[in-house]
Structure 1
Amino acid sequence: MNHIWRKLLHSKTAIKTPTAEQFTQEQDLLSDNLADNENKFRSVYKDCSDVIFRPFFIGGKDKAILIYIDGLSNIEEIDDNVLSPLMQNTEEQFHDVNSLIEKRISVSDVKEIKTFFECIHEISLGNPVILVDKRKTGFSLGLSKWEKRSVEEPSAEMVVRGPREAFVETLRVNTSLLRRKIRSPKLKMQSMEVGRYTKTKVVISYMEGIADKTLIEETKNRLSRIEIDGILESGMIEEFIEDNPYSPFPQVLETERPDVVTSNLLEGRVAILVDGTPFSLVVPTTLYSLLQSAEDYYGRFLIGTAIRWLRYLFLVISLLLPSLYVAVITFHHEMVPTTLLISMAASREQVPFPALIEVLIMEVTFEALREAGLRLPKQVGAAVSIVGALVIGEAAVSAGIVSAPMVMVVAITGIASFTIPRYSASIAIRMLRFPMILLAGTLGLLGIMLGIITIIVHLCTLRSFGVPYLSPMAPMKFRDMKDVLIRAPWWKLNTRPHFTGSYNKYRQSTGQKPDPTNGDE
């Protein structure tokens, strides 16, 4: 019985203890009693050893307290520019504490705050907060400082020619990278917070006068509807804002390159930058945007067009080559030349499995090796994946489990999937490869055609923020076709792509084609 009473007593006292969530909901104003304010903050930050409470006297007379988080605030700046000047005794007369702080504190960002919620928010951002006795307001000092990674070369989007800088995990560094490329006040960045506990900062970036206002509002609305405990990476936001969450195809473009984000902003798209991740999101996107690389636009247009065609070819190979092999070997022997058919039959003579099981074994093994290469340490990851594929493939052929042509088919398919620039698009193709193989193994070429028709119909129904996923090919927009199957020269790309609503049509002046006769005398 005593045990029950103790539990009830403990629950009552726990209910009376104020929490940060209560302050968030109630919007409690600060009291003019410093002791009451301090007690509330100490109860909120109970068992938080990294939260520092530093009591002191302003000018030797007014009692105050400084609250900050060790590791998020610049302690050297606090000592030199806050505590040291405020604690000095002086005979100079000041009208109030405000004028004293304005004249003594050499911090650029000082703002007055009135509620507990604002104080907790500023402390969580790393900004120290000063509370003064007999005052119902506090002061937030912009002295946040934490460890951050330096700007490095992109690891997921490598190029031969182009910028060698990538986004980092710090939001303000990422926004500054965009500001360095677009030096115009037309570049707008609107900030908001997502996540009840993480309070993750999210910045919506767009070009005023170029991006459609409806697209901007739709982006804000989708982000404001997110209610979750925390956002740790931009991929979590991507799942909340995409149009069709059950599609294997990505409907949001993710990138770690500032130049890619810049080019999309200048085309009228909207970028979403998330604090704590080097990957930003761009909306809307299309299938052809996912198959384009930044390097397509830095080299000469003939080379860019040739590489783009090669990329499209290997996209088809990555999706259909194993299923075509299974269909031909299982149902359509007449499609193979007799000499090649005899050679393939001889290589499969000792294989105990049908072609369908054979290709599934090899594809699953290859995907496992690829995943293992990603998860292993960098020093051994590449070696294990390549050597493992060679050893396992040779051993499987020697043991008679798979045939040599099957190893070649799987290897070519794997190489083809690496030519897709976007990792998310590559995963989608790799996922669809398996149902295509099953259709080929059961219905032959008819199954492959049914699979292709299903994929095309699905792509035609997809939308990215209201924009057709196969635009500008379906629906057809001839003006925008200059940057789809080919990469037209820059002097012909004088119009921006038209997504929806009103838009700024021209991106450059017309008549800039080079004249070969200019150098003639």
Structure 2
Amino acid sequence: MRILRRIKKLTSTIQLQNQEKIHDPKGNDPLFRFLEENFSQVKKYFEGASDFAYREIKIDSDLAIMILYLDGLVNIERIELNVINPLVKLNSESLKTHESTIDSIKAELSAAQVNKGDTLQEIINHILSGDTVLLLDGFKQCLFISEQAWEKRAVEEPLSEAVVLGPREGFTENIRTNTSMIRRRLKTTKLKFESLKIGNLSQTEVIITYLDGIAQNSIIKEVRSRLNQINIDAIEDSGYIVELIEDHPFSVFPQILQTERPDRVVGNLLEGRVGIIVENSPFALIVPVTFFQMMISPEDYYGKFIMTTFIRFIRYLFLLVALLFPSIYIAVTTFHQELLPTNLLFSVAASREKVPFPAVIEALLMEITFEALREAGLRLPRPIGSTVSIVGALVVGQAAVEAGIVSAPLVIVVATTGIASFMFPSYPLTGAIRLLRFLMIFFAATLGFYGIFLGIFFILVHLVQLRSFGVPYLAPIAPFNFNNLKDVLVRAPWWKMNERPEQTGKRNLKRLGLRNRKY
């Protein structure tokens, strides 16, 4: 009995190994000479796949050709026109006059891109990528025909980065559409696209883009190295890559810029940065970045520099409001009432007279409620989402004040804080500020203004330590670089910004001629 069990176990192990060999090709298996053997091998990998389609065509009685593809990933009409019709018109006698049947068939096809292959893994990869494969009887080579076609979203205005001035087109989930929008803006051979596959099962195409001669080689090599080290089953969006390649994954601050706008990618490429475009994702990644880049909107470069500078000051002011306003309210009402003018102090005290909770509990209740309304507005259908969030905030706030649960001044504080948090051009930075706001509330509730200053100190120390692909996160403030301050807190006129940022563009600093504004 023991011997039988051992034999059965050994048999099941061998069968499992054979199945693994069948469903996980290792790429170097050469093709057979006979069509039936090659087709049977390919068919095993697509067993149970109802979208796997094939068709056999016989040229006279001497040559058989098998067409393989995945239904839904190819353009059937173009396959019929450019592949099947030319094959049907061929005959074996005309092929025998050629030295190579593969090359003669390749020459007869009308498709724009036709390549040759000779391994089983190549066949699997090309079929899964939407190509059509031609297997020929009697030859150890095959043909790959690119006639891909699948449903895709049209180019639309980006929802997460709306602007008043500037282009209205944004990236889509189609990677070729995205690269074409960048190529259209930079008509130069210095624009490079490096393609690689990431994901053991998804084989997602990821493209590294940069300007040769401007981007630093060290940054390009580092980006390439980090992407090649990723070992994961599937990449469904560029957000997967963000967590896998950023320098400090436990920091709440984003160290990689995510954008839907091709003009924003082009602007950063011109400053010596590197872009990462991911298949099936409308968000491109830009590295390296700094904190001040997260506060810059693409629209800043399309308007007058005076107005842009004013808006940037407002943006930084409301950054402090979004981070500190609730904690300042708690510190003043709990520890430092003497800082308020007498009339304002009496007004605040009267409004809080019926409130049964301390200021910190009151603030936490309102902040958490506001965050819930914000999330509800995002998840609801678009036509009613904004209405529900606004009406909900008004109704809940008014009812809470009338019921004596919260005070009226706190409703103003929370509403102003919520408005301030919508002013940041980078959504990940908005999330970081929202999270740190709760930390500052805790510091204010325990130590008052001393706690607020302590929290700010900890945040600044953390920011100074951060790096994005080797570039300091607070550059050019820390380390200080006076020449690069022209596009940080203020936006200097274009004729003054004649050099790229030194952290990313020092390989080729000059970007503007000397004859501008000489009239």
Distance in 2, Cα, partners of 1:482 & 1:141:
51
1:286 maps to 290
2:74 maps to 73
Q: State the secondary structure of the residue aligned to 1:55.
A: strand
Give the CA deviation at 1:425.
0.4
Give the CA deviation at 1:175.
0.2
8 A contact 1:112–1:139 mirrored in 2: yes
Q: Deviations over 1:287-325 (max 9, x none)?
A: 000000011110000000000000000000000000000
Give the CA deviation at 1:85.
1.6
Q: Which amino acid aligns with 2:424?
A: I
**Counterpart pick for 1:379 among 358, 376, 383:** 383
Q: 2:477 aligned with 1:477, yes or no?
A: no
Q: Which amino acid aligns with 2:200?
A: R
Q: State the secondary structure of the residue aligned to 1:87.
A: helix
1:518 maps to none
TM-score by length of 1: 0.96
Q: 2:488 aligned with 1:492, yes or no?
A: no
8 A contact 1:85–1:105 mirrored in 2: yes
**Counterpart pick for 1:207 among 208, 211, 224:** 211
Moved over 4 A (4+): 1-12, 18-21
Q: Which amino acid aligns with 2:246?
A: E
Q: Deviations over 1:152-189 (max 9, x none)?
A: 11110010000000000000000000000000010000
Q: State the secondary structure of the residue aligned to 2:503.
A: coil
Q: Structure 2: where are the runs of 5+ without partners?
A: none
Alignment of 1:293-312 (within 5 A): 293-312=297-316
Distance in 1, Cα, partners of 2:61 & 2:497:
68
1:357 maps to 361
1:67–1:162 Cα change, 3 Å:
same
RMSD of aligned Cα (Å): 1.8
TM-score by length of 2: 0.96
8 A contact 1:126–1:144 mirrored in 2: yes
2:34 maps to 33
2:19 maps to 17
1:224–1:455 Cα change, 3 Å:
same
Distance in 1, Cα, partners of 2:479 & 2:266:
26
Distance in 2, Cα, partners of 1:17 & 1:58:
35
Distance in 1, Cα, partners of 2:191 & 2:262:
14
1:227 maps to 231
8 A contact 1:308–1:486 mirrored in 2: yes
Q: Deviations over 1:337-392 (max 9, x none)?
A: 01000011000010000000000000000000000100011011011100000000
1:333 maps to 337
1:162 maps to 166
Distance in 1, Cα, partners of 2:506 & 2:303:
31
Distance in 2, Cα, partners of 1:154 & 1:369:
23
Q: Which amino acid aligns with 2:350?
A: A
Alignment of 1:77-226 (within 5 A): 77-88=78-89, 90=91, 92-93=94-95, 94-95=97-98, 96-226=100-230
Q: Structure 1: where are the runs of 5+ without partners?
A: 516-521
Q: State the secondary structure of the residue aligned to 1:205.
A: strand
Q: State the secondary structure of the residue aligned to 2:348.
A: helix
2:408 maps to 404
Give the CA deviation at 1:4.
11
Distance in 2, Cα, partners of 1:7 & 1:399:
72
1:125–1:323 Cα change, 3 Å:
same
1:47 maps to 48
8 A contact 1:311–1:420 mirrored in 2: yes
Q: Deviations over 1:190-236 (max 9, x none)?
A: 00000000000000000000000111000000000000000000011
Q: Which amino acid aligns with 1:266?
A: L
8 A contact 1:20–1:117 mirrored in 2: no
Q: Deviations over 1:4-27 (max 9, x none)?
A: 99998666544323656532x252
8 A contact 1:194–1:201 mirrored in 2: yes
Q: Which amino acid aligns with 2:79?
A: I
